[in-house]
Homo-oligomer: A and B are copies of this chain.
Amino acid sequence: MNDRISPEPPATLAELMRRGNVFAEQCPSREVLKHVTSRWGVLLLVALRDGTQRFSDLRRKVGGISEKMLAQTLQWLEADGFVARIAHPVVPPHVEYSLTPLGEELAQKVEALADWIEFKLPEIMAARVRRESGG
């Protein structure tokens, strides 16, 4: 019925990108995905499900994170509208971080993923051992 080869991709790329399509290289959803699935992004989102916390609290909770990466990752998540930052203008700085409603939705999905991995870890490691021992 139709031409097999059309001069333009179907439904316009721009439209796909506006809707969100992770398979399209230029889609901004790739950027968001990058922040969310970044090394520390996942951990922070899960950590923040425990409620409002301060910078140093998060630093202590998330093992191995540096101050630099904590600050940077929080800024990404804030820019994407997932975390809210409230700075109290007091003398030793006091800043509180929490999830926005949007962030809470997201964090649930992320935690589901992280929990699944933790739960299945023995099974995963077992599969790895089978492979290494040449089974």
Q: How far is the CB of A109 from chain B (nearest CB, A)?
A: 5
Interface residues of A in 7-48 (CB under 8 A from B): 18-25, 28-29, 32-34, 36-39, 42-43, 46-47
* Interface of A (DSSP majority class): helix
Specify which chain B residues have a CB less than 8 angstroms from the CB of A123 in the assembled complex.
81, 102
**27 A-B residue pairs with CB within 8 Å:** A19-B118, A19-B121, A20-B117, A20-B118, A20-B120, A20-B122, A21-B118, A22-B114, A22-B117, A23-B47, A23-B63, A25-B64, A28-B125, A29-B114, A32-B117, A32-B124, A33-B117, A37-B37, A37-B113, A79-B128, A81-B131, A102-B127, A106-B113, A106-B116, A106-B117, A106-B120, A109-B112
